[in-house]
Amino acid sequence: MEKINLDWESLGFSYRKTDKRYVANFKEGKWDEGILTEDHNIVLNECAGVLQYAQTCFEGMKAYTTKDGKIVIFRPELNAQRLEDSAKRIHIAPFPKDRFVDAVVQTVKANAAFVPPYGYGGSLYIRPYLFGTNPTIGVKPAEEFQFRIFTTPVGPYFKDGVKPLTLCVSDYDRAAPHGTGNAKLGLNYAMSLHALVTAKVNGFDENMFLDSATRTKVEETGGANFIFVTKENKLVTPKSESILPSITLRSLMVIAKEYLGLEVEERVVYFEEVKDFAECGLCGTAAVISPVGKIIDHGNEICFSSGMAEMGPITKKLYDTLTGIQLGHIKAPEGWIKMIE
Ligand code: PLP
Ligand code: COI
């Protein structure tokens, strides 16, 4: 497959129109067969459920070119399941899970020229999403929905790549205890925008959100889960009903245990104990593993011993193993890698 002419080395995390996108519509209680189209615009009724009451959920995935030139995706069945869970949470008709992976494969194949070649650190970001399309003016779920998948070639999510980040403890809440924080809904991200802009204006890269009920427990950032490493090299990650169940995190827990022989603890993490960890990082599809060097809590600094120059040694091992599995240098656990072509 001939690649388009792009400066692969300097891709950031931004939208670039690619050739084809997948579209399916749900009407009268069923999904149509779906098509790939070149039309990147969506025409919607002015009163569509998504526009009035934010009835939309989405996923984030990546396609990689492996060392031997194959295009692969990572654990897509888990994205299919999470999209179904998110859809049900806000009364969107789920897109059938058994068709989800096929639709992703079709879309990536149709845009293979945009998958960054091996060796540039880039990937093709895949964004599946679902939204209410018919007019809804009284507050109630839509009855018609659209499922779409677009792709865009991306580089690192944070502009300095894998340089340690500085976070601040947010004064805003991301999710309520019995709210929607554990589903991937557009509304959660709208909620976090003001907190993000405020953090950036104040010179920080991201927010650390605490639990909104007690403000004593670590939750996550606007777009990634936390990992911590103790001084004894144990991987610790926050457990909470109101954070998104990250597929990257679930994979890192397996990697830590089975590939690196580390102890792993998923448990409540109090903010009070964060200063005692040796390393901290953010993990997610977009973030991969982005190291955190410093967290500022209203003027009080927590500096991790891994410092501000590079990622800590355990974070680096996790990063190298995860990306090694995704890029085909390291044997993946059964079923983690789906070959596209
Ligand atoms: N938490 C939030 C709020 C996210 O938006 C994401 C990104 O998808 C994650 C965590 C990481 O999830 P995953 O590893 O499945 O991409
Ligand atoms: C992802 O990692 O795929 C996300 O959806 C997070 C977002 C901040 C880009």
| 3-class DSSP assignment, residue 254 | helix
- The alpha carbon dihedral of 113, 115, 118, 120 has a sign of positive
Tokens for 302, please give them. 């927590």
Mean pLDDT of the chain: 97
User: Which residues are identified as catalytic?
Assistant: 184
Distance CA 173, CA 189 (A): 12
- How many angstroms does the Cα of residue 231 sit away from the middle of ligand 1? 26
- How many angstroms does the Cα of residue 29 sit away from the middle of ligand 2? 30
Tokens for 42, please give them. 């969506």
Residue 79 CA, closest ligand 1 atom number: 15
Higher pLDDT, 307 or 322: 322
Residue 125 CA, closest ligand 2 atom number: 3
Count CB neighbours of 280 within 10 A: 27
| Residues 330 and 251: beta-carbon distance below 8 Å | no
pTM of the model: 0.98
Residue nearest to atom 5 of ligand 2 (CA): 60
Indicate if ligand 2 lies below 6 Å from the C-beta of 223. yes
Q: Which ligand is nearest to the CA of 188?
A: 1
Q: Which ligand is nearest to the CA of 221?
A: 1
- Give residue 335's Cα distance to chain centre: 20
Indicate if ligand 1 lies below 6 Å from the C-beta of 223. yes
Share of the chain above pLDDT 90, in %: 97
- How many angstroms does the Cα of residue 28 sit away from the middle of ligand 2? 32
Distance CA 62, CA 177 (A): 30
Q: What is the pLDDT of residue 66?
A: 97
Tell me how far CA of residue 10 lies from CA of 96, 170, 173, in angstroms: 37, 31, 34
Indicate if ligand 1 lies below 6 Å from the C-beta of 246. yes
Q: What is the pLDDT of residue 161?
A: 77
Q: What is the pLDDT of residue 341?
A: 84
Tokens for 28, please give them. 């009268």
Structural domain boundaries in the chain: 8-154, 165-326
Name the CATH architecture for the domain at 8-154: 2-Layer Sandwich (3.30)
Query: Could you read off the pLDDT of 118-168 as tens digits, one per residue?
Result: 999 999 999 999 999 999 999 999 999 999 999 999 999 998 878 999 999
Q: What is the pLDDT of residue 18?
A: 98
Distance CA 204, CA 308 (A): 14
Q: Mean per-residue pLDDT for 274-293?
A: 98
| 3-class DSSP assignment, residue 333 | coil
Q: What is the pLDDT of residue 21?
A: 98
Q: What is the pLDDT of residue 159?
A: 84
Tell me how far CA of residue 172 lies from CA of 212, 213, 243, 275, in angstroms: 8, 12, 15, 21
Count CB neighbours of 77 within 10 A: 15
Residue nearest to atom 9 of ligand 1 (CA): 224
| Residues 166 and 128: beta-carbon distance below 8 Å | no
Give the type of residue at 152: T
Count CB neighbours of 285 within 10 A: 20
Tokens for 23, please give them. 């579209």
Residue 285 CA, closest ligand 2 atom number: 2
Residue 284 CA, closest ligand 2 atom number: 2
Flag whether pLDDT at 43 surpasses 80.
yes
Distance CA 166, CA 253 (A): 24
Count CB neighbours of 193 within 10 A: 11
**Domain covering 165-326, topology:** D-amino Acid Aminotransferase; Chain A, domain 2 (3.20.10)
